[in-house]
Amino acid sequence: MAEAHQAVGFQFTVRPDGVDLKLSQEVIKNIYLTGLTAWNKRAIQFKNGVLAGVYPASPSSWLIVVIAMMSSSYTHIDPSLGMIDTIKEILPQRDYMSVQTRAVLSAILFATGLWLFLIYLLRYTLKALLSYHGWIFESHGKMTTSTKVWLSLVKMFSGRRPLLYSFQASLPRLPVPSVDDTIHRYLESVRPLLDSEQYNQMEILANDFKDSKAAQLQRYLILKSWWATNYVSDWWEEYIYLRGRSPIMVNSNFYIMDLLYVTPTHRQAARAGNVVHAMLQYRRKLERGEHAPLRALGTVPMCSTQMERMFNTTRIPGIETDIVQHLTDRKHLVVYHKGRFFQVWLYTGGRHLLPSELETQFQRILSDTSEPQPGELKLAALTAGNRVPWARARIKYFSQGPNKVSLDAIESAAFFLALDDEPQGYDPAKAGSFDSYGKSVLHGKCYDRWFDKSFTLISYPNGKMGVNAEHSWADAPIVGHMWEYVLATDCFHLGYTEEGHCKGDVNKCLPYPTRLQWQIPKECQDVTETSYLAAKQIADDVDFHGCLFTEFGKGLIKKCRTSPDAFIQLALQLAQFRDQGVFCLTYESSMTRMFRDGRTETVRSCTSEAVAFVRAMEDPGATNAQRLALFRKAADKHQNMYRLAMTGSGIDRHLFCLYIVSKYIGIDSPFLKKVLSEPWKLSTSQTPQQQLNLVDINKFPKYVGAGGGFGPVADDGYGVSYIIVGENLITFHISSKFSSPDTDSYRFGQYIWKSMLDIQALFKPENHKKTVEHAKHVQLENGKKHI
């Protein structure tokens, strides 16, 4: 064990003439370096905390203000308007304080107060500026004079070289929309989905709610918005994620894939070594707050709160609700390989393990031929099954002894690493390789991922990687930000030797990884098996298909003078109608991180304008000119809905919070019940690319990410995630359920492909020939399941 290895460096023997101490110089040096690193880390965190705390001012500006106040005493000008003299009189009389000392101290105290006042003035001025969102509603590429002036003011008040959390205190709070606006937008969103009778009934429910109960619920919500930093986020985390008692595998967790075309090395241990080291570098910068804050237009800051819990975080199961446990300064990770759990220390001599040292440790695990202990092989299936059995088993079987020690090691680890034994990844020459890869990172074997950890890093024998992330603590763009940094660091900064190993010398003196010890009784093994069978049934039911759309991408769509996201969303509506013959309630995720502690909002993509466009596309009598006009109208509507959601004027989070308030105060609302029970048969999300400066796609076109995805939200619906990569690639991740006779992910992917081409043909009629040829090439097997 690592502890035992270090303990031999300190030995003592009690003798009649005293105590004989034996100290290992190497261990003492290790302890010294570790302590030095710890104090250095605290100093940097303190410094950066001060810099972020006084931002947009700086500590040096305090000295400038003090000097200015001191200088004024020699010019016989009192800028304090007598306040310095008042402070001097209030100061207690002391013999050791001369008149000059009291004057200097009074000036310093006044200057400090003035400096703090100016900091808050700058912050609230910046907060007021950031509360303006008119810029987001302007046409792309066209900026009014008022917006240019506003942008200049934001830049001026934003200061220089901000740290990750510098803008947190200046971000505005998420506004509470008016009930009238929310209900109006809601009724507008469901109009194309309901017939006249159904819509009239919904309108009656909505108006009754607005006239009777809404005002009282709204008052409570406004009160919360004044008190809390965000009136949605804490309830969203608790009631949408943590109180759910069904399995989080597939139903909640999401995944992110590796680079699509490139595998930097085919050595599993080496790739894992580089990636883990890059993650440790990212974590160090995160703990110090040294990452640059994300900013829209390069100027408008985004909230960074979610990033705080990226590492050292675990979802802890409970009987009624789970909790998110976040720890600090964890120095180990836990590795799973062939049914065994290993603890690997990430530091030595006060520094991170080097990539070559991590490779050595992981190779030792891969070469270990020991067998799993009884009950160890499928132990992680507890995190994949229903939450209540896992919570009870945790209390009963993991509260003491070696089981508690080992479970604590997992839950306190920086993150979880799974060394898989089956290769995965996209291979153009191998049919179904992308689909298999997607299912692997989404659920694996149901017992080889610790689904409760903030994220599980997955390493495959052929060098491919993947990430499975728990959803309650953060949204996909947060994990995506880390993953972009890691892949760029792995490929362009760390690199590999010609043989595919990590660069650097091999250190064979490192203590071996430690096997976690378990004593799993038969009763606990039965609970584990039950959880595994429940999880396996969910996993086997996932129908996943990955679709690489290479006909065109963002570049061509922008030439058509339309938003790429709106283009894709309308293609999804067209594909949905062609696949199902009906329209459905559609969910698109939008972020609200321009506000303090913001997470997401829903964009209801199936609008009346989108429906009119789809019907025109399916109407043989409609002309392309008519279809194009309807497309532009639908795209503009979608963009407006997306912008409203981003700026706090969405529909669903407001109604969700009103519903929570109604439950707290015991008010029954048929309208809110109806709204919250509506199924999202088409759930969509775009994976954004946030750090385009890390990799030059034009120079390295093969170094593109494959994006990520999630499981189906409805039993008879689709989950679609997509990423727009570079100028000529859009990757779709499509999921549904085999158990539904109405859905087929492969078939839906083909409809998406055809719909994209059909819409593009509206802009270039000569491309319609290509569309027809492709449609003939694709054989759509309606009613059959793709296996």
Residues with catalytic function: 471
Strand 313-316 to strand 300-301: parallel, antiparallel, or no bridges (unpaired)? unpaired
Contact 542, 443 (CB under 8 A): yes
Distances in Å between the alpha carbon of 179 and those of 68, 104, 217, 649, 719?
A: 51, 56, 10, 11, 30
Query: 290, 289, 284, 279: which is closest to 256 by C-alpha?
Result: 279
| CA distances for 211 relative to 574, 660, 720, angstroms | 37, 19, 38
Cβ contact 139:180 at 8 Å: no
CB 574 within 8 A of CB 614: yes
Query: What is the C-alpha separation between 690 and 710, in angstroms, rounded?
Result: 20
**How many CB atoms neighbour CB 773 within 10 A?**
11
What is the Cα–Cα distance from 8 to 768, expressed in whole angstroms? 76
Which backbone phi and psi does 421 adopt, to 5 degrees? -115, 10
Residue 593, token pair as written in the block: 């991180």
Question: Which tokens in the block code for residue 580?
Answer: 């199902």
Who's near 603: CB < 8 A, 6+ residues apart? 587, 588, 589, 590, 638, 641, 642, 645, 650
Residue 576 exposure: Cα atoms within 13 Å on the Cβ side? 29
CB 707 within 8 A of CB 723: yes
Contact 144, 138 (CB under 8 A): yes
Q: State residue 465 phi and psi, 5-degree precision.
A: -130, 170
Nearest to 610 by CA among 192, 111, 8, 141: 192
Among candidates 346, 367, 354, 350, which has minimal Cα distance to 511? 346
SS (H, E, C) 187-225: HHHHHHHCCHHHHHHHHHHHHHHHHHCHHHHHHHHHHHH
In the numeric block, the tokens 């009934």 are attached to 201
